[in-house]
């Protein structure tokens, strides 16, 4: 068994100033669509690196759901510039993309097929080390061993997983998260809550991951709503809470809330379901399904946020609390309410159920699930039916 995290996590308002103390020659800075530039953070980063005597080059415009082409372009830019630091700033996408670029920078002859097998990557850090600076409070990719890259040609997503791509340094500076629009706060916050809850009940949970998951859950219940409403301190606390959740799930893995979100996010022509929003919708349904095998663990979670009673009562109230939180965050209770067309749902649900059972996150779910049960569960989440099987 193994527990792996970045060697350093710098946190606090203004923490990006730590870049002044970096030792190295050249840093490539990998960015998304431009908001980090617009808010002045990229200029600051370049300035701090200049003070450290480090030459910089930008790789910009990594798209949402980053593609194989973008990754290969970035890797080529790295081979040309030869950075000894890769610094990625932004939401999940530029950081995920930069992780994959890093692999192909160090090993130009590899292909995605070579590295898609979990925990099969060759040793990195022969050419560069990696810094991640997140601007959203959810994916926690700054501390995880994961990256998702999309092959548009083949229409598949490569979920990469290997402790080699766990960043060396995470800079969790809440100033960057203050720029998030309200709905992004809601969705990413519920993604983080799902990470912590799934990590706590996962079959791979451990004494090393439990305290991180529980603390994250407590902080999210305390701060998410206020963060959504614009409270600056709450926004800061959420930035740390999602990081703790990431430290838990990169080591304890996830469960079928994520399996369902992965396979439904882009499945319907009637609307792309944002990752965190999909998780938020499925979470209470999955708890009701999983409780047969994980009642005690869910009751622990409930008690950690001040709910009491029997295990059964605790879990019931926990689900009600999640429903209530979703409601206040403007998240629908069902796929139907989200706007997914009923006819299309009926046509696709059986195939989606099979794909979800085959998702990489299903293996660590506390209760095994068949494609037939998955279809029933998705149907409950579509119509809002009670999960009683
Ligand atoms: Fe997630």
CA distance 256 to 272: 19
Distance 12 CA to ligand 1 centre (A): 23
Question: Are 159 and 146 contacting, i.e. CB atoms less than 8 angstroms apart?
Answer: yes
Three-state secondary structure string covering 231-267: CHHHHHHHHHHHHHHHHHHHHHCCCHHHHHHHHHCCC
- CB 91, CB 136: distance < 8 Å: yes
Q: How far is the CA of 74 from the centre of ligand 1 (A)?
A: 24
Distance 79 CA to ligand 1 centre (A): 31
Question: Which residues are bridge partners to 146 per DSSP?
Answer: 161
CA distance 156 to 176: 31
Count of C-beta atoms within a 10 Å radius of residue 168: 16
How many residues are given for the chain?
389
Q: Give residue 203 CA to ligand 1 midpoint distance, Å.
A: 17
DSSP state letters, 342-363 = HHHHHHHHHHHHHHHHTSTTGG
- By C-alpha distance, which of 349, 198, 189 is closest to 286? 198
d(CA 58, CA 369): 45
Which phi and psi (to 5°) does residue 153 adopt? Answer: -60, -50
Ligand 1 center to 215 CA (angstroms): 18
Spatial distance between the Cα atoms of 102 and 115, rounded to a whole number of angstroms: 12
- Centroid of ligand 1 to alpha carbon of 47 (angstroms): 33
Tokens of 206: 């451990």
What pLDDT, on the 0 to 100 scale, is given for residue 266? 84
Q: What is the pLDDT of residue 152?
A: 84
Residue 339's CB is within 10 A of a number of other CB atoms, namely 11
CA distance 329 to 146: 27
Phi, psi at 148, each rounded to 5°: -115, 125
Cα of 246 vs centre of ligand 1, distance in Å, is 9
Mean pLDDT by 10 residues, the chain (389 residues): 97 98 98 93 97 98 94 98 98 96 97 91 97 97 95 84 97 97 97 98 98 98 98 98 98 97 89 93 98 98 98 98 98 97 96 95 97 98 97
Q: Which two tokens stand for residue 290?
A: 């999983």
Kindly give the distance from the C-alpha atom of residue 94 to the centroid of ligand 1, in angstroms, as a whole number. 16
Distance from the CA of 120 to the center of ligand 1, in angstroms? 22
Which residues contact residue 368 at a Cβ distance below 8 angstroms, ignoring those fewer than 6 apart?
A: none
Helix, strand or coil for residue 132?
strand
- Give residue 34 CA to ligand 1 midpoint distance, Å: 23
Q: How far apart are CA 235 and CA 180, in angstroms?
A: 9
Q: What angle do CA 305, 202, 374 make, to 5 degrees?
A: 105
Report how far ligand 1's centroid is from the alpha carbon of 192 (Å).
7
**Which of 11, 9, 16, 42 lies closest to 28 in space, CA to CA?**
42
Q: What is the 276 CA–ligand 1 centroid distance (Å)?
A: 6
Q: Tokens 């939180």, residue? A: 325
CA distances from 326 to 78, 136, 280, 380 (A): 42, 19, 7, 17
Q: How far apart are CA 386 and CA 379, in angstroms?
A: 10
Distance (Å, rounded) from C-alpha 193 to C-alpha 158?
A: 24
Give CA separation, 101 vs 90, 108, 337, in Å.
16, 10, 39
Angle at 243 between CA 367 and CA 195, to 5 degrees: 15
Q: What separation in Å is there between the alpha carbon of 44 and the centre of ligand 1?
A: 29
β 85-90/129-134 pair status: parallel
Cα 53 to ligand 1 centre (Å): 37
Tell me the CA–centroid distance for residue 196 and ligand 1, in Å.
10
Q: How many Å lie between the centroid of ligand 1 and the Cα of residue 69?
A: 23
Of 38, 41, 81, which Cα lies nearest the Cα of 59?
81
User: How many Å apart are CA 99 and CA 279, to the nearest integer?
Assistant: 24
Distance 261 CA to ligand 1 centre (A): 8
The DSSP call for residue 163 is G
Ligand 1 centroid from CA 257, angstroms? 9
């Amino acid at each position: 068994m193994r527990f792996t995290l970045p060697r350093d996590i710098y946190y606090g308002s203004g923490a990006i100033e730590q870049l002044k103390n970096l030792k190295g020659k050249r840093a490539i800075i990998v960015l998304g669509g431009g908001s980090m530039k617009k808010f002045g953070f990229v200029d600051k980063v370049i300035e701090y690196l200049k003070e450290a005597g480090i030459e910089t080059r930008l790789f910009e415009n990594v798209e949402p759901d980053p593609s194989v082409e973008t990754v290969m372009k970035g890797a080529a830019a790295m081979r040309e510039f030869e950075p000894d630091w890769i610094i990625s700033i932004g939401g999940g996408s530029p950081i995920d993309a930069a992780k994959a670029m890093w692999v192909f920078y160090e090993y130009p002859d590899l292909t995605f097929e070579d590295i898609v097998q979990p925990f099969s990557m060759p040793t990195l850090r022969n050419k560069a080390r990696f810094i991640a600076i997140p601007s959203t409070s959810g994916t926690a990719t700054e501390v995880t061993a994961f990256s998702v890259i999309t092959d548009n040609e083949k229409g598949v997503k490569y979920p990469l997983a290997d402790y080699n791509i766990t960043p060396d340094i995470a800079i969790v500076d809440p100033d960057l998260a203050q720029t998030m629009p309200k709905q992004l706060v809601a969705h990413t916050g519920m993604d983080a809550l799902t990470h912590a809850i799934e990590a706590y009940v996962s079959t791979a949970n451990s004494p090393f991951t439990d305290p991180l998951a529980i603390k994250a859950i407590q902080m999210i219940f305390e701060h998410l709503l206020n963060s959504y409403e614009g409270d600056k301190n709450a926004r800061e606390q959420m930035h740390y809470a999602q990081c703790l959740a990431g430290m838990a799930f990169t080591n304890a893995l996830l469960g079928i809330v994520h399996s369902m979100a992965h396979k439904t996010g882009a499945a319907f022509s009637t609307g792309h379901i944002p990752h965190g929003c999909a998780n938020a919708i499925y979470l209470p349904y999955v708890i009701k399904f999983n409780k047969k095998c994980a009642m005690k663990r869910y009751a622990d979670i409930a008690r950690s946020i001040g709910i009491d009673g029997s295990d059964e009562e605790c879990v019931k109230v926990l689900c009600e609390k999640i429903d209530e939180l979703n409601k206040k965050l403007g998240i629908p209770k069902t796929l139907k309410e989200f706007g997914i067309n009923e006819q299309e749902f009926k046509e696709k649900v059986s195939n989606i159920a099979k794909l979800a059972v085959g998702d990489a996150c299903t293996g660590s779910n506390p209760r095994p699930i068949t494609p037939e049960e998955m279809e029933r569960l998705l149907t409950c989440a579509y119509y809002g039916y009670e999960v009683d099987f």
